[in-house]
Amino acid sequence: MNKEKSILKKIWDELYLSLKVSGHPYHIFSVSSIYNNKPDARNVVLRSVDKKNQIISFHTDSRSKKILHIKENNNVCALFYDFPKKTQLRMHGTASIVNDEDLIYERWEKSEKMSKLCYLNKYAPGSKLDNPKDYLQDNGSLNNIDSGIDNFLVVNININIIDWLSLDHKGHERIIINISDKENTIYNWSAP
Ligand SMILES: Cc1cc2nc3c(=O)[nH]c(=O)nc-3n(C[C@H](O)[C@H](O)[C@H](O)COP(=O)(O)O)c2cc1C
């Protein structure tokens, strides 16, 4: 396998690894979006990786601003940084809201109680509050945690371009890998 292909293989391998290894640097990544021509970004948890279909996913609240952004403009960028390995991944792609109800249910069922509780919050993320904890669930809704599924979404990001940067005191290396055509991956070395 040539160097370019082994870099791409390593990228997917590390993403998969991050789903299993606690504290892996790729567990949390930043998703940026554009709304009203203005950029925005936030950290999310990487929830799934599908190399064959070139998809990564995260979970979110249907009431959150990022959903509005994605609906207006589905172009997003997913940014990862592996501090120990000094590797940055910038993945450009398009976001879509998953509507496969079986998959949504499966993801919900597998979620930790702590994660589920976030979806019971009384107010949408970003709502103005009089007091910092006013958003918290009522005791009533705590008796029915699974009602939170109504606010629970799975968002897929279809990756088109991976911009990989490796920092090294002997010389940094950067390669831009265009995977939009599954039959014809294009590798371009780039100045860092
Ligand atoms: C470490 C960390 C992990 C987070 N994971 C998620 C996540 O998986 N999904 C999510 O919607 N928000 C997550 N958040 C909160 C978001 O960063 C953000 O504050 C929230 O989703 C509202 O963003 P929005 O207004 O852009 O929609 C996380 C925040 C941090 C600090």
CATH number at residue 111: 2.30.110.10
Which residue ranges have their beta carbon within 6 Å of ligand 1? 28, 40, 42-45, 58-61, 64-66, 125-126
- Residues 24-52 have a mean pLDDT of 98
pLDDT exceeds 80 at position 139: no
- Alpha carbon of 184 to those of 177, 178, 180: distances in Å? 11, 9, 8
In a domain, 76, yes or no: yes
* Conformation bin of residue 98: beta by default, left when phi > 0, alpha when psi is -120 to 50: beta
Query: Which residue's C-alpha comes closest to atom 4 of ligand 1?
Result: 44
pLDDT band (50, 70, 90) for residue 12: very high
Tokens for 178?
């265009």
In a domain, 137, yes or no: no
- pLDDT score at 53: 97
* Residue 46 CA, ligand 1 centroid: distance in Å: 11
Residue 176 phi, psi (nearest 5): -110, 120
In a domain, 63, yes or no: yes
pLDDT band (50, 70, 90) for residue 135: confident
Predicted confidence (pLDDT) per residue in 144-170, tens digit: 899 999 999 999 999 999 999 999 999
With tokens 């589905």, the residue in question is 74
Q: Which of 22, 30, 32, 42 to mutate to test the pocket of ligand 1 (most atoms within 8 A of CB)?
A: 42
In a domain, 136, yes or no: no
In a domain, 146, yes or no: no
For 172, the domain range is 3-115+152-189
Read off the DSSP letter of residue 16: H
The type of residue at 17 is: L
- pLDDT score at 143: 80
| C-alpha dihedral, 48 to 51 to 55 to 56, nearest 10° | 30
What's the CA angle centered on 58, arms 108 and 11, to 5 degrees? 130
- pLDDT score at 68: 98
In a domain, 143, yes or no: no
In a domain, 131, yes or no: no
- Residues 67-90 have a mean pLDDT of 98
CA 47 to ligand 1: nearest atom? 8
Nearest CA-CA partner of 135 in 144, 145, 143, 125: 125
Query: Which residue's C-alpha comes closest to atom 31 of ligand 1?
Result: 43
**This prediction's pTM:** 0.96
3-state SS, 46-67, equals CCEEECCCCEEEEEEECCCHHH
pLDDT exceeds 80 at position 96: yes
pLDDT band (50, 70, 90) for residue 77: very high
pLDDT band (50, 70, 90) for residue 141: confident
- pLDDT score at 1: 84
Gap between the Cα atoms of 186 and 178, Å rounded:
5
In a domain, 121, yes or no: no
- Residues 36-54 have a mean pLDDT of 98
Number of domains forming the structure of the chain: 1
